[in-house]
Structures are given as C-alpha cells and as structure tokens.
Copies of this chain bind each other. A is one copy, B any other.
Amino acid sequence: MPVRLSKTVRLMAEPKENVLMEKIVSLCKRRGFIFQSSEIYGGINGFWDYGPLGAELKRNVKELWWNTMTRRRDDVVGLEATIIMSPEIWKASGHVDTFTDPMVDCKTCKGRFRADQTGEIPCPQKPSKMVSECHGEKTAPRAFNLMFQTYVGPVQDASAIAYLRPETAQAIFAQFKNVLETSRQKLPFGIAQVGKAFRNEVTPRNFTFRSREFEQMELEFFIKPDEVVEAISGRVATAAEVSGGNIQHPTSNIQHPMGAAPGPRPPTLDPRPDWGWEAWHKYWVEERIVFYEGIGLGRSTLEEYWQKPEELAHYARACVDILFKFPFGTQELEGIAARSDFDLSQHERCSGKSMGVFDEELRAAWSKLDDAKKEALSRRYTEARLKYLTKMGVDQAAAEQEAKEDAAGLAKGQYIPHVIEPSAGVDRLILALICNAYSEDQMPDEKGKLETRVVLKFHPRVAPVKVGVMPLLKNKPDLVAKARQLRDLLRPHMNVFYDDAGAIGRRYRRQDEAGTPFCVTVDFETLEGAKDGALAGQKDTVTLRHRDDGRQDRVKIAELLPLLLEKIR
C-alpha cells in the first residue's frame, strides 16, 4: 500500500461530473440501498435513509465490526451511550470553543457562506458573480459551530442548551471509570461504541460521504504511558518490532465440530508488555486494514496516509488515515490516532473527578528501579504533563507544581492512561463497499446473446442477501413446495430472498444487482434425481449459481447449508 504524499493532492469531483458515481447513486435508489431522507417533501440536504438492502448491508458491517472489535477479544468491551449528553462534555473536549467553520454573512442578500468558499459560491442575487466578487456588504468571518444545538427540559434558556454529539468518542472517555470499575478489565484495554453522530456541515457533499447525520464505529484503546511501560518492562518496543502473524492459534488440537471458525479472523498479533504507544498504534493500523481486507476492500483499494507533524492536533502523537479510492477522489474511511492522555486529562480537569488508574504492576516495579531510572522517567513524565497543562492555559508555576505531583503518582502506581483511537465512519464505509462492488460485465441472456450486466460483487460476509432461493417454474407445485422447504432450511442461518417471479435468468440478474453471492434453484432434477451418468443416484440436488462468474454447480441439498455457511462467515 503506497503512502500518500499529501492529503490534498486529489481533488474531489462533483458526483454529477462523474458518470460512474451517477450510475452508483442511481442503482442505490433503484434497488433500495439508499434513498434521500424525506424525499416526498423535497428532501433535506445532508440526510440519507437506508432502504431494505442498504439497511441489511449496514447491519452486517456494524455487526462484523462489533464482533471483531469486542466479542472476539478479551481486552475490549462495549458501550452504548446517549446522543444528547451534558454540554460540559463538549466544553472539556474543546468542541464548544473550536469545532467551528468561519462564516461570513452578506448584509445585502442575507446569505451566510463559508469564508473560505466565497470564491467558489455564486452570489444568490447575481449568479454570474461569485460571493467574493459581488457588491453585497459582508461581515467579517465569524466562527459557526458545527454542533446541532437543542434545549433539554421545558425552559429554553442558556442553562438548558445541549448538543447532539458530533462524535461518539467523548462518551467513552466520560464513562471510562465506570467501565473500568465494572468490567474487570486492566490496562491495556479498550471500549468500543457504534452510534449516530451529527455535524451541521455547511456543504454536505459526495452523496452519503459527507452527511449531517452519520454513524461512527469508534474504539478507544487505553494504554500505559511509555514511562510506565519502561518502568515495568525495562524498555519500550519500537514500532518496527510489531509485525504480523506471531500468534499460534491454540485451537488447532481441538477438533472443531463445524469446520473452520466463522467470521473475520481473530488478531494475528500477540501484544507484548513492552509495547508503548508507537507499537500499539502500529498494531491497530494493521488490525484495521486486515478488517477491511476481510470485508472485501483489498489493500490495493486502500491507502495509508500518515499525517505530518504540522497536520497533527496539538495533543496527538501520530495519526494515520486509511483512505479509499472513491470515484470522486481518494478519501478517508478511518483515522487511527495516538491521542496521548489529552482526553482523560481534560475530563479530569473539567469534571474534578479522577480519571487516573492504579496499577499494582507499576507500583511493584517502581520500588525496584534505581534512583537514576526513577529520576529519568519522572522527568520525562513531568515534561509531558507540563506540556499539556501549559497548552491548556494553566499558568507556569501552577502547571510545574501539578506536573511534579502527577509524576510523584508513578511511585504509587498511579497515572492517567493514554489512548489509541481507531475511528471509522459507517456511511462512508458502506459507500466504499458499494463503489468497490460495482461492476459491469457481459453475460449471455436466456437466448445466449451477450448483454451488459450490472453486478455488485460484495464479499459474501457483508452482502445484504446471502442466497436467492428459486423454483425453476412458479406454476409447478412440487418445485414451489421444495423451494419453500429449502428457504425454510436456510433462513434461520442467513438472509434468504425467495423469488418465483419471471424467467430464471431475469431472477439471477436481479440478485446480481443486489449483490447476492449465491442462488439456489430447484428444478426437475431436484425432484426426479439426475438422469445422466455422472449424477446418477444423486437425488435431492439443486443448482448452485455463483454471482461473480455465473458458474452453476450441482449440489446435494444435504451439503448445501454447510457449504454456504463456510462461504458467508
């Protein structure tokens, strides 16, 4: 995977200028993946609904993320917090003060425009000129907060203001201590959450890519500060020491009664106690890319972008963006940031509640360090805390005092955890999966004549429908009864679409467009047993038709379920 040189190298094309993107948007509507929200009322800009196929696709992706990130691991637990939280949370996080776009108002036309886009937006009154060139008198740029605001309770005054969360992450920090105390986890461990977030984008664009209401899948993985790792392990591993495949999965000598274990594979890297933030950061970048591979986004469709020092937020140690090559440009799917102890520190300062942990291992290790080591680690820890405190406006003397006290906590086994944050957008991932799956090829129709076929080549794990079940003919009760039996056999285990309407070739094409990886057809051979030599005696067989190449196999019904399960899990 090549490393991108600059985040802004690739310009985004508007969907209308992009034929492929137009086809995808059209397919999404036509097949019920994505509709405009409130379409019958003219829509509402920046909001999109998922239709029957889209809702299934989205559920599958969220379920796979949840299973991979929490249920398949010992060291991550889940959280489901509210969208409306105390506004104090957004003061602590900095969103109230700094989550803004600069806007100018035109006193003539009363329009409001992004200050950095006035050169690209036509004047509403004189569209021949851009806003920056027209004669309307403009205000100076003012900060416009991107959080949606509302009032909680019956009185609409300043004390009742609340916000729709602009990200899910902050709830994880706010509940860190509750989760730590109730979940029997010790550092390093993570808290995962999936849920809606809202940003009042001035210019929603690129279909569902930049919406005002969207869904996130975020993990906050809490780790020990490097000074603590070094005190305990004597050293801190470099990122270069982290490489894939060092786990020998121990299940090999237990016979698995259902064949291979389902789902994306469990972690291949075995974390070590000497991992500091660089190693953990690299680990999560690797884990997340493997996740994308596991749902059909191969490495060649992705790019890794390591933010440059000057691009990083002041508290961030590093941030990697995982980008996907959309038809409208290469754009971010997920950011994996090493956020130091900034978030928990902020909530500790703003809430007055301790966000620190007690680490028995550290306490025991510290007492065995020689004085030079204690001194060196304390100094480094003090410096890091001092940097944070002065950045947040604490005056120098107070900051020095507080940083020193923080470092004194190390001897008692106390510190504030650092965090690695893999943060993914669900909607843009869904769009990436659809763009990646979209394909046109030539396939023979009923009469053998080649025709253009639209097919969504979803990985079977995420495909909305796993299998189409069809009687060859609708007017043969035996075929229909058998097909319904098959449907009922498969349905408890996977999403099945039963279809008996129209020519079989048409039905296959409809499933191709929906991205259904398999179709099973009950035909006369199913009922009578095969007649030619090769299949003699193979009663109760069906046609298994493969989406990507149209290949058709003859499969025994008794073997069908395990065969399909192996493919879709």
A558 within 8 Å of B by Cβ? yes
Q: Is the CB of B183 within 8 A of A266?
A: no
A492 within 8 Å of B by Cβ? yes
Chain B residue numbers with a CB within 8 Å of A488 are 249-251, 261, 266
A78 within 8 Å of B by Cβ? yes
Nearest-CB residue, chain B, relative to A182? B32
Chain B residue numbers with a CB within 8 Å of A56 are 78
Docked pose: A510 CA to B183 CA in angstroms: 11
Q: Is the CB of B82 within 8 A of A182?
A: no
Docked pose: A237 CA to B36 CA in angstroms: 39
A499 within 8 Å of B by Cβ? yes
A263 within 8 Å of B by Cβ? yes
Among candidates B66, B88, B212, B266, residue contacting A84 with C-beta atoms closer than 8 Å: B212
A405 within 8 Å of B by Cβ? no
Which chain A residues (532-561) contact chain B, with CB distance < 8 Å? 557-558, 561
Which chain A residues (199-250) contact chain B, with CB distance < 8 Å? 200, 202, 212-213, 249-250
Chain B residue numbers with a CB within 8 Å of A255 are 558
- Known contacts A71-B491, A254-B485; A79/B52 CB under 8 A: yes
A508 within 8 Å of B by Cβ? no
Nearest-CB residue, chain B, relative to A353? B40
Which chain A residues (283-334) contact chain B, with CB distance < 8 Å? none
Q: Is the CB of A39 within 8 A of B492?
A: no
Among candidates B37, B59, B84, B182, residue contacting A86 with C-beta atoms closer than 8 Å: B37
Docked pose: A32 CA to B198 CA in angstroms: 27
- Known contacts A32-B183, A38-B174, A558-B257; A196/B83 CB under 8 A: yes
Docked pose: A30 CA to B178 CA in angstroms: 9
Nearest-CB residue, chain B, relative to A495? B71
Minimum CB–CB distance from A211 to chain B (whole Å) comes to 8
Q: Is the CB of A175 within 8 A of B80?
A: no
Chain B residue numbers with a CB within 8 Å of A42 are 86
- Known contacts A41-B89, A154-B112, A498-B74; A213/B82 CB under 8 A: yes
A residues at B contact (CB < 8 Å):
29-32, 35, 37-56, 58-59, 63, 66, 71-72, 74, 77-86, 88-89, 103, 112, 144, 148-155, 162, 164, 171, 174-175, 177-179, 182-184, 191, 193, 196, 198, 200, 202, 212-213, 249-251, 253-258, 261-263, 266, 347, 350-351, 353, 481, 484-489, 491-493, 495-496, 498-499, 501, 510, 557-558, 561-562
Instruction: Identify 8 residue pairs between A and B in the complex whose beta-carbon atoms are under 8 Å apart, listed by A's number.
Output: A32-B183, A39-B175, A44-B85, A50-B81, A51-B183, A164-B164, A184-B499, A184-B501
User: Beyond the given A251-B489, A258-B258, could you list 11 further A-B residue pairs with CB under 8 A, ordered by the A residue number?
Assistant: A30-B182, A37-B171, A39-B178, A41-B88, A45-B152, A46-B152, A50-B79, A58-B80, A254-B489, A257-B558, A262-B493
